[in-house]
Each structure stands twice: as C-alpha cells, then as structure tokens.
C-alpha cells in the first residue's frame, strides 16, 4: 500500500495529539516535541539537500 504525502501528514499530526500515545510517552519519560507533518517534510528536504562533500 502506498500512502500519499497528505495522508502521511494527517496520520502523523493525529498521532502527535493522540491521548494514548502521549500518555505512553509520559509514562516512559520520553519528551514529545512534535513538528507538524509539513514542518517535518521541510526538515527532511533540507537534510536531503546537504551536499555530499559536507557530509564527508
């Protein structure tokens, strides 16, 4: 199954607001500092655009 970027954004954003997910993260003492799906997509694009010589 292939999901559209819009669907992935919607599901990600819903997860970041899900009470059960947030409760589990709190129980495990894991911080949740979510970005929106669009912000995350932008971050991924910036990371992918780093020049190979910079990565070396």
Query: Residue 35 in contact with residue 42, Cβ under 8 Å?
Result: no
- Global pTM value: 0.60
Place of tokens 């932008």: 42
Count Cα neighbours of 43 within 13 Å in the Cβ-side half-sphere: 7
Q: How many domains does the chain fold into?
A: 1
- Predicted confidence (pLDDT) per residue in 8-26, tens digit: 888 888 998 999 999 999 9
Contact at 8 Å (CB) between 35 and 43?
yes
Considering only residues 8 and 29, tell me which one the structure prediction assigns the higher pLDDT: 29
Residue 37 burial by Cβ neighbours in a 10 Å radius (0-12, 13-18, 19+): buried
Domain membership of residue 28 as a residue range: 5-55
Q: Which two tokens stand for residue 18?
A: 């899900």
């Amino acid at each position: 199954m292939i999901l559209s970027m819009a669907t992935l954004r919607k599901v990600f954003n819903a997860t970041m607001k899900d009470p059960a997910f947030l409760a589990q993260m709190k129980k495990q003492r894991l911080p949740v500092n979510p970005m929106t799906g669009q912000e995350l997509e932008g971050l991924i694009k910036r990371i992918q655009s780093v020049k190979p010589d910079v990565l070396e």
